[in-house]
């Protein structure tokens, strides 16, 4: 019996939800990047260029960092699941070995 047997479905569900959030954040970033040229074309003056520079300098890197952080959650969740699976396998092997030893008594 695996320790994660009862929550594996929930872990997979959470992982899928996190993946959706990462895609959503990427979509938001694409929309933001798409708005900049539209704003620049309708905004008269040098401030339009400064707006575009601010978006490129502040918003885009922050969004990229957010997307990476969201993706990191799934990476760490996958690693944790693998560690638990390995521990369960090792424990099962030890228990089987003990069972064989006790059977020989």
**Alpha carbon distance 10, 95 (integer Å):** 27
Q: What is the pLDDT of residues 11-25, one digit of tens each?
A: 889 999 999 999 999
Q: What does the pLDDT read at residue 37?
A: 92
Q: What is the pLDDT of residues 36-45, one digit of tens each?
A: 999 888 888 7
Q: Where are the domains of the chain?
A: 17-103
- Residue 98: pLDDT over 60: yes
**Cα-Cα-Cα-Cα dihedral of 94, 100, 103, 105, to 10°?**
-90
């Amino acid at each position: 019996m695996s320790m994660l047997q009862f929550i594996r479905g929930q872990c997979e569900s959470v992982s899928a939800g996190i993946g959706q959030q990462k895609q959503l954040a990427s979509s938001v970033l694409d929309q933001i990047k798409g708005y900049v040229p539209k704003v620049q074309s309708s905004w008269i003056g040098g401030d339009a260029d400064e707006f575009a520079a601010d978006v490129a300098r502040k918003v885009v890197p922050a969004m990229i960092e957010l997307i990476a952080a969201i993706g990191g959650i799934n990476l760490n969740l996958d690693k944790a699941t693998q560690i638990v699976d390995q521990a369960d396998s090792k424990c099962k092997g030890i228990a089987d070995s003990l069972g064989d030893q006790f059977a020989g008594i």
